[in-house]
Chain A
Amino acid sequence: MNEATLVLYAIYIFMLAVFVGFEVISKVPVQLHTPLMSGTNAIHGIVMLGGMLVLAEASTPLLTWLGFAAVVLGAMNLFGGFVVTDRMLEMFKTKKPAGGKS
């Protein structure tokens, strides 16, 4: 496969992901806005993988430290994001049993 085809594939992926991104959350109730924002925030923590890649390939000390910083920031985004989202949604879960008892 030549370079131009690969670029086109990347653009296909991008375009389809735009539509899926819009479609998948089109009907979200207001009380889920905050957790959903937090959940999507966690998903872009995948940037950590990009940091891993540039760090793996780094050949100078400067690039190594930049890559290392990217991995640390990305990991904070990724792990912190999922934990925060889970803490928010945990509240929604405990709500129902509590309501049932009273």
Chain B
Amino acid sequence: MKLHIANGRLVDPAHKVDAQRDVFIEDDKIVALGQTPAGFTADRTIDAAGLVVCPGLVDLSARLREPGFEYRATLESEMQAAMAGGITSLACPPDTDPVLDEPGLVEMLCYRARNLNCAHVYPVGALTFGLKGERITEMAELVEAGCVAFGQANEAVLNTQVLMRAMQYAATFGFRVWMQPMDPYLSRGNAHDGEVAARLGLTGIPVEAETIALHRQLTLARSTGVKLHITRLSSAAGLELIRRARAEGLDVTCDVAAHHLHLCDVDIGFFNPLHHVVPPLRSQRDREALREGLARGDIDAVCSDHTPVDDDEKQAPFAEAAAGATGLELLLPLALKWGGEMKLPLLDTLARVTSDAARIMGITKAGHLGVGARADVCVFDPETYRRVSRDTLKSQGKNTPFLGIELPGVVRHTLVEGRVMYEGR
């Protein structure tokens, strides 16, 4: 099938392209950019006048809830959400039920995802069996089954020796380890430990929960030489630790969840359970540091941290409400809002959700649109604002703190391997 995307503004951060350039696709590859290639007759032409044409977004964390949590969401519903969000590649964390610690489970998940022909799913395998922090998993087999990295989701590895050995084993193969910095004992609260939690009588999670865990993880990364990626940074102090480690030459990357760029603890308001997320929304100063850190590149990428939750689980008092926010469809709008407010060129904004994210996952096929690249494309309208509402969300989880808010960026077309998988109004 031959596809011609005409009159669009091509923004491809990997190749530093931001120009009016047509895109020509044949079957699953991009065959030309700019001029129509000789002998090319399009079966379909998409008029992208006034729209941005960019690589399909790469999301570093989206919980698809399969296997095990189908009452919250299914692959079918969440893939629809990914398509509506312009996301064509995503990584899913290992905290499914059962945990993604067996090659067979990973194979089945990848198989199911491939059959849906939507976004490419890159599972993050469990670092230890059952995420229990005791026995390391069969990392070589898991990579062969499709894993791109290993992690513990939000579970701790209490035994430091186990953590060290797990990192050493991963480093043997050059495998990536993704860690969430959360000291298990200090993280027993549900809101940032500060003035707001004090007033509201919520159990606080101090910043030390992040910095102490980070010290531990960074120190072990230094001595084991493992490729470490820190997930969902939430504090200025945490970011500072990573910056210093990088300045000293440590190969470490980090990401931030999109909601942390926009919200802080004050937004909890009158105990709104939609703002109960892990890690918690911290202070305004932390938010500012994260916004600037992502702009400077101290934080490499932004992800959705998509965590769909059943309505009933959110309709409970704050501390008892299930934590997490749905976000596949909001990654692009939230990134655009941030980028616009920071006055960044669109190229830089989109890099954080395409090429930079792909680099962290270690995949070369996604996140760029050069000639010969896999035709995973997102075509969106950067000017139109749309209000976030339950009716328009395709994810089964409607639990977003941005309900009722107007955000920029409406996806018009999402292509996966040259096939148009989504067309929006």
Our verdict on whether A and B bind, yes or no, reads: no
Chain B residues engaging chain A, CB cutoff 8 angstroms: none
Chain A residues engaging chain B, CB cutoff 8 angstroms: none
